[in-house]
Chains A and B, each alone.
Chain A
Amino acid sequence: MLALEMYRSVAKTALGKVAGGRMPLLLTGAAAPLRMVTLDPPKVEHDGWARLKVSLSGICGSDLGMLSGKTSLYFQPLVSLPFVPGHEIVGELLDPCGDLDAGTRVVVDPVLTCAARGLEACEACARGETNRCSRITVGDISAGLQTGFCHDTGGGWSQQLSVHRSQLHAVPDGYSDEQALLVEPVACAVHTARRAAVEPGDRVLVSGAGAVGLLATLALRELTDAGEIVVVAKHAHQRELALEFGATEVVAPSETLRRIRRATSAFMLEPEMMASPYLLGGVDVALDAVGSKESLQTCLHATRAGGRVVLSGMPATADLSAAWFRELEVVGTYASSRGSGDFATALDLVGHDGMCRLAKTVAPYPLHRWREALDHAQSAGRLGTVKVAFDPRRTN
């Protein structure tokens, strides 16, 4: 089968880290430790596993981060190279899988928990907090925090992979593949909204209006009683979608702090020596949906004392002075939790009118045009796209 494979390359990773900031195309071209290969389809010979034929597989920010070497070395022991990336997956079962028949259209919850590894449930899995599983490096399969980062299971950027019954959710009739593709990122957004613990009437800042920010906005509006939701967006189409998904106001990155200051009657201070300005006062909850230093700094600096900063997506390094001085709660939010029914909620939310329209804008690429696809994903905001995906069924 055809697959894209990420392999170990210290030279390319270093090149990406050094030059990627100035030459983004390096990250999806010469410096990407990714290649197109022909592999035997992966098959995990344990109970509960089945083969899945991929219909669509999305390109996520964490995939781009991994390819460009931006991801922290913290994650290095949690993957098993070489692996086939792709964890936002919709496909069709080639084998029966538990109570699901062959031919069932499913979406994949990519987290590889104790159940998938053939282990007794760890404490987190037993509580249903599957995204906090402590056993993600051991068991029947090799290390890998998720499908798409594990050598043995394969990933969505290929024609076929192996999936475990515990990961699967049947797609209701009437949903397009593109809608189904969005279920996994929406499930993450649902989990984010829950982790944000927004109180009724709270003012919320969502920094970023890419897929993560937009879906988080939708989840916050649909699942919480948030008051104002201010979304930071760079591009016109992002502004429109953010408003459609429930933002009260959309602001440009350069205006964010001033607008939050005005809306919350906060005071703004400007340290000397090129340091960023910050607020005394601000929003109750801020959500970093970009993962850049600037975005995280904005969130830390725009949140009131005692407020909450939610890290949605892989965080960048930032000055944590505000977290200390303002007694902020810094909350991480990773993937989704099976015990909370995040996927079930996400399956409902993708039926939202805005999501239907968003699904129609998914940009699919065949596997062999992977460089183009990654370039597109890297510049998705600028090019007016929210989600770029691989469609292994396509030949052009």
Chain B
Amino acid sequence: MTRPGFVLEVDDRTPPLLVHEGLGFRLEEFPQGTRVVYPPESLPTVPDVDEAIREALDNPVDSEPLRELMFPGMRLTIAFDDLSLPLPTMKAPDIRGRIIEQVLTIAAEKGVDDVEIIAALALHRRMTDAEMKHIVGERVFRSFAPQGLLYNHDAEDRSNLEHMGMTDKGEDVEINKRAATSDLLVYVNVNLVAMDGGHKSVGIGLASYKSIKHHHNAKTMVHSRSFMDHKHSEMHSSAWRMGRLIGEHVKVFQIETTLDNEVFGKPYDTLLKREWEWSLRDQATVLGLRRGLAVAPQKMRHKMFHDLRSNYGLTGVTAGAVEPVHELTVQRVHQQQRVKVEGQSDVMVMGVPYLGPYNVNSTMNPILAACMGLGYYFNSYLRQPVVREGGVAILYHPLDEGFNTLTHPSYVDFYEEVLADTTDPALIGPKFEEQFATDPWYVHLYRTSNAYHGVHPFYMWYWIAHALDHLGDVIWVGGNPKAAARMGFRSASSLRDALEMASSTVGPSPSITYLRNPPHLLADVR
């Protein structure tokens, strides 16, 4: 029997609580009365993954079985979520590879030989061969990649984009030409959080900047409340309009999967347990890890964490028409991650770990750290934010200025040039976005190297627009003061200092809620 999410109030018996901060963590003593929100434990997983996939493909929702959608001579395109999901990377075999193998088996049985497989990475960086191989599996990679039939989507390849029209709100719908002109587009998804999947998969994953810019902007983000609730998210509304238009031109067969909460495998699995339940062995493990991390060089800590692979279990797989499939997916994600929280608090505390969707096998620079904390964790709510309007967010992360110029070249310029000018998401868009988006060097690096698109740091900043709009102050514990100041925030050396600084905004005795992430939780704030 799994346990649901749990809300604890800190009292004099509560041990120090674990808080993630980049490539490490600390044990923090929270003030008495602090509300701590723990994520639920993992749901039961599917006993036979391959059988579950087979069942989903044969008995899809609101669609003929996949087998019946295939015919000899057809153009079949399979698209899949890129390495931004799941976090951390799943242990091999990746669920996407297992699904793609079955889709290809059916295609072969039906005599389909025009098949291409595309990583739906939107404006993310191209995956390396090794990363691609990890997701699709050795056999699929070897069969398709050498012939150029397995590749990264290129949102800047004008000759391979198809403008499919405009939505009734004037939004351009432009996606990968191969996908747009296929007889069948099979999308293979991993839903780590409720924001993923649905029409977002094809409508964004295979789109161009021309299309994506309609919803990835400050105004839309401020009105997406929350990202985890697609019925109250402006961004999702736009993606849904686009997805429906795409559906008028190409048959989309959506396959969505949901995972449990097993984000840390051994020897880090202790980090998933609740502190007061730590055995002596767990305590020794945590202390040993802390000691080791304290003396380990940055490179070694980076390797330790980024080499970590998760033991995710599959909690469900659904296939068929996009919208009904996604409804079932969202239900399962909510079931896994939802925690009831009574009322808002004055202060919200979040630890920002080493990894986010945009620094897989790379470094988490200050902009990505801000996006992870104020974009993802802040928005992990239903109904209303955990912190009240005008409240304070306290985040933990060192905010090292270590920008990776291979993966994030435009981030350095964004940080030094744009944020030095203004940190207001509403102002930076009109003033700088187009220049970065069309910069030929960034376009070149996105297309030929492993760089995020030039416009990507803007999206990270828009992602936090809702939090900036809502919060009265943002304080980073242990954060580099220079980086915090550059982003318009403040830094403190300890929680005590941060609360002292926050007192000018929320008074001397604020109510505090600590969201103990990861694994993911979704605060259902009543």
Contact = CB atoms under 8 A, between A and B. Distances in A.
A266 B441 contact: yes
B416 interface: yes
A267 B416 contact: no
A261 B416 CA distance: 14
Interface in B373-430: 412-413, 416-417
A267 B444 contact: yes
From DSSP, what is the main secondary structure of chain B's interface residues? helix
A45 to B, nearest CB: 61
A60 to B, nearest CB: 33
Given A258-B412, A262-B435, A267 B417 contact: no
Interface string A224-258: 00000000000000000000000000000001001
Contacts of A268: 441
Interface in B440-465: 440-441, 444
B50 interface: no
Contacts of B444: 267
A94 to B, nearest CB: 54
B412 A267 contact: no
A266 B435 CA distance: 12
Nearest to B416: A255
Contacts of B497: none
B439 interface: yes
A352 to B, nearest CB: 27
Which of A258, A261, A262 has the most B CB atoms < 10 Å from its CB? Answer: A262
A267 B440 CA distance: 8
**Could you say which interface size class chain B belongs to?**
under 10
A224 B441 CA distance: 30
Nearest to B444: A267
Nearest to B439: A265
A265 B441 contact: yes
Interface residues of A, number: 9
Contacts of B439: 262, 265
Nearest to A269: B441
A258 B409 CA distance: 10
Interface in A257-297: 258-259, 261-262, 265-268
B413 A262 contact: yes
Contacts of A261: 441
A267 B417 CA distance: 18
Contacts of A258: 412-413, 416
A260 to B, nearest CB: 11
Contacts of B440: 265, 267
A342 B439 CA distance: 41
A255 B417 CA distance: 9
A258 B445 CA distance: 14
A202 B441 CA distance: 21
A182 B416 CA distance: 34
A265 B439 CA distance: 6
A39 B65 CA distance: 106
Contacts of B435: 262
Given A265-B441, A267-B441, 5 more contacts: A255-B416, A258-B413, A259-B413, A259-B416, A262-B435
The 9 closest A-B pairs by CB, nearest first: A267-B441, A262-B413, A265-B440, A255-B416, A258-B413, A265-B439, A268-B441, A261-B441, A258-B412
17 contacts: A258-B412, A258-B413, A258-B416, A259-B413, A259-B416, A259-B417, A261-B441, A262-B435, A262-B439, A265-B439, A265-B440, A265-B441, A266-B441, A267-B440, A267-B441, A267-B444, A268-B441
